[in-house]
Each structure stands twice: as C-alpha cells, then as structure tokens.
Homo-oligomer: A and B are copies of this chain.
Amino acid sequence: MTALMQQGAAAKKASALTALAGTDLKNKALHAVADSIEKRADEWLAANAADIKAAEESGMSTSMLDRLRLTPERISDVANGVRHVAALPDPIGDVLRTEVRPNGLQIKRVRVPLGVIGIIYEARPNVTVDAAALCLKAGSACILRGGKEAINSNRCVVEIMREAISSVGLPEDSVSLVQDISRESASELMAMTEYVDVLIPRGGASLIRAVAANSKVPVIRTGEGVCHVYIDKDADLSMGAKILYNAKCSRPSVCNAAECILVHEDVIKDFFKEALPLLDQKNVVLRADEKALAVLGDRAVPATDEDWDTEYGDFILAVKTVSGPDEACDFISKHGTGHSEAIVTENAETADRFLQAVDAAAVYVNASTRFTDGGEFGMGAEIGISTQKLHARGPMGLEEMTSYKYVVTGNGQVR
C-alpha cells in the first residue's frame, strides 16, 4: 500500500464517522477550525511567506502570486467563510420522499453524504479551507491536492484544521492533504476508486480536461466558462450594453464572465453605439468577425477560429454577427461550454425559444451571466459551478454535494 492509498483508506474510514456526525458536532468542528485559523494566523502567514518567496524566485506571474498570497485580512475572511458554512442548513438526513407501497413497505429517500471527495486545485490556499469546510458540513471526508507552489501554506493549514477537528472528537482524517505533488500522485488519486467517491477539479480548463479525461474515479467538471450574451433584434440595446459590460468587465477572470457577444445583424450598429463607450472604459479588446469589423472599424481586430473557443479571462471580447436567434443557438451549441448563456430581448417568444433550445447550466433572459454563483442563487456557498449534466449542474452548494439512499422498512415482506 502506497502512502496515498493509506491516506485514502484513512479518509474512507473517517467518512463513515463524518457521515454519522450530527449537525451540532460538525458545526462545533467548523467553529474550532475557524478559531484555530485565526489564533494560529502567524504560523500560516509564515508558511505562506516561504511559498511566496519561492514563487517570486521562480518568476510566478503577478496574478498567480496574488492568488497565492495570504494577508491577515484574507485569513480573517477565510475563517469567517468557515463560520458562514457552519451557519448554513445541514442537508444530511433530509427525507426527500416517503412512500408506503401497497404491500406495506415504507420507502424513504434520505439524503446522505457522498463519502470521500477529492479536490484537485491550483495554488490558492484559501480554497484548501473553503473546500474542507464544505465537504465536512456535507458529511464527507476530503482529500485535498492543491498546487505545489502552495505546499507550505497548505501543509500548515491542513495541520491546523486536523487538530481542530480532532479536538471536538471527529477524526482528523476527515481532512487530509496529498503531500507529494507530482504527476504520479495525481494519477494515483484518479485511480483510487476504492477510496474516493468523486473528484472535483477546480481551476483552469487544461487541469479540468486532464482530470476528466484520465480519472477512473467519477468526476464533476466545474468552472469552464465560454459564456455568450446574445443581443436580439428586439433587444433594449441600452440594457444589452449594460449587461454586456457587466458580464465582460465586472470580473473578467471568473468562469461566469462573458467571452463572446453575439449580435443580431439588424442592430449591430446601434448596439455598439451604446456598448462602445462602456467597453472603452476598460479598453476591452474586440476580436470581431467580418460583418462586425465593418461596423467597428479600427476599434476591433479580426477574430480567428480559435477566438470562438477561448476563455480569455481578461478584458478581451469576441464579437460575432448572427442572422437571428437560431444562428445564435447553433453557435452556442458549437462553442459554448455548457456554463451560462444569456439573451437580451423584449420579445417573449424569442426569449422562450432561446431558453428552451440552449443547453447550458444557466440560461438567462435580460440579465448578466455573472449571476451564476452559489451565493447569488441563494445557496450560501458553493464548491464550484458544474458544467456537466450528470449529478449536479450549475452552482454546487451543500445539497449538490450529497447523494441519497433508500431506507426501506418492512415487517417480513417478500416478493
């Protein structure tokens, strides 16, 4: 048995106990975690400083360094995030359905934990705590594999969490960290079907695709977002411009940001009269098809085929002219990632057709794609945005991090 397999076996064993832990005990553990993280913030900051130093020396980009870096304020946010999870309703044990069959059997569908959840993610120490807190509240154990650039930060905070969890009587192995961050350990984790019930990759598209393609453990794909806003000929163009500006510019690095605007050819000129002054505020680069170039002139550069499938994560926008909602839906079907898609139109019939035809986790009429988020959907917190159709779709809150079982009570029934 390798070290990772032993870790998997320990997590599975722990998950049998977290599954049976009551709400109070789980919340007690979460508060202990939050308190310890604040009390031991200096340890965590020191460990993070070592990661930051190594990352700077290796030439890490500014945006990645920013994600890696902890500050006292960020640590306080992380701890409060854990307290927030403690305050959320406990989904475990909910009876989803009860039926008494004609033969007298009582069949209850009861919400139960998933078991052991593996999370593979990049060098973001806050995710280590967020993910562990959500898994624990959902009654599952977790195995965390963060980016190797954050290994010191992660080792430190996982140890803090394990001590806090065991201080209230839950098994420390409910949370554990993959220590050896290598290709081999990733492959091993993806093959541990005996111990891991689901793997959730969080991060860039290449990470997610690699895990989905190679894992034998069931995977939930999250967070790939090539999202579109379609401006219909019957749109309120001023509303459309504001929605586009918000969807593209309010936080371009996140997965629910828009990457491509589809505009009805009849209104493209008038639309950009409204939209350009907004997009100019952020110097958004426009990569446009031929028809749009004719309208946008020097303000845009020609798009290549690659643009239609790119999640820029930046102030760049692909611009595509379409002949109507059908072409918009076809284009989205070819180039979307099943995340969030919006139409702006005052025509209720066109809106309905779009909402029905577009196959994505969230479809919008007259609102920004940026709302696809656990908090905005009222879930309180989320582990990610699922872009697949199996198990859960869209924001995954605590309920979406569970399974169910049938509890059947009889008095001797046979078939």
Tell me if A197 is interfacial: C-beta within 8 Å of chain B.
yes
Which residues on B sit within 8 Å (CB–CB) of A239?
411-412
Q: Which residue of B lies closest to A415 (CB)?
A: B370
| A237 nearest CB across to chain B (Å) | 12
Q: Are B388 and A393 in contact (CB under 8 A)?
A: no
Assembly CA distance A113 to B30 (angstroms) = 38
Q: Are A412 and B376 in contact (CB under 8 A)?
A: no
Q: Are A393 and B403 in contact (CB under 8 A)?
A: yes
Which residue of B333, B361, B370 is within 8 Å of A414 (Cβ)? Answer: B370
Which residue of B20, B218, B357, B365 is within 8 Å of A410 (Cβ)? Answer: B365
Tell me if A5 is interfacial: C-beta within 8 Å of chain B.
no
Assembly CA distance A114 to B388 (angstroms) = 10
Q: Are B236 and A415 in contact (CB under 8 A)?
A: no
Tell me if A170 is interfacial: C-beta within 8 Å of chain B.
no
Assembly CA distance A335 to B46 (angstroms) = 46
Q: Are B19 and A405 in contact (CB under 8 A)?
A: no
Assembly CA distance A361 to B101 (angstroms) = 18
Which residue of B101, B368, B378 is within 8 Å of A413 (Cβ)? Answer: B368
Which residues on B sit within 8 Å (CB–CB) of A197?
388-390
Q: Are B218 and A388 in contact (CB under 8 A)?
A: yes
Contact flag A409-B362 (CB < 8 Å), given A20-B356, A250-B415, A391-B390: no
Which residues on B sit within 8 Å (CB–CB) of A245?
414
Contact flag A378-B408 (CB < 8 Å), given A357-B16, A390-B390: no
Assembly CA distance A413 to B365 (angstroms) = 10
Q: Which residue of B lies closest to A333 (CB)?
A: B16
Which residues on B sit within 8 Å (CB–CB) of A364?
408-410
Assembly CA distance A20 to B19 (angstroms) = 40
Contact flag A415-B359 (CB < 8 Å), given A105-B371, A197-B389: no
Assembly CA distance A114 to B372 (angstroms) = 20
Question: Per-residue CB proximity of A340-358 to B under 8 Å, as 1/0?
Answer: 0000000000010001110
Tell me if A1 is interfacial: C-beta within 8 Å of chain B.
no
- Counting contact residues on chain A (CB < 8 A from B), the size range is 35 or more
Q: Are B408 and A365 in contact (CB under 8 A)?
A: yes
Q: Are A366 and B101 in contact (CB under 8 A)?
A: no
Tell me if A404 is interfacial: C-beta within 8 Å of chain B.
yes
Tell me if A120 is interfacial: C-beta within 8 Å of chain B.
no
Question: Per-residue CB proximity of A380-415 to B under 8 Å, as 1/0?
Answer: 000000001111011000000001111111111111
Of the listed residues A333, A388, A391, A408, the one surrounded by the most CB atoms of chain B closer than 10 A to its CB is A408
Q: Are B391 and A391 in contact (CB under 8 A)?
A: yes
Contact flag A198-B390 (CB < 8 Å), given A412-B239, A415-B376: yes
Q: Are A405 and B360 in contact (CB under 8 A)?
A: yes
Given A362-B408, A367-B408, A393-B404, 14 additional A-B pairs, CB 8 A? A105-B371, A115-B389, A193-B212, A198-B390, A212-B216, A351-B409, A364-B410, A367-B413, A368-B413, A389-B403, A390-B391, A391-B391, A394-B405, A394-B406
Nearest first, the 7 closest Cβ-Cβ pairs linking A and B are: A367-B410, A246-B414, A389-B403, A391-B391, A362-B406, A370-B415, A239-B412
A-B contact list, 26 entries, CB within 8 Å: A101-B376, A101-B377, A105-B371, A107-B378, A115-B359, A115-B389, A197-B390, A198-B389, A213-B216, A220-B390, A246-B415, A362-B405, A362-B406, A362-B407, A363-B407, A365-B409, A366-B410, A367-B409, A367-B413, A367-B414, A371-B415, A377-B406, A390-B390, A390-B403, A393-B405, A394-B405
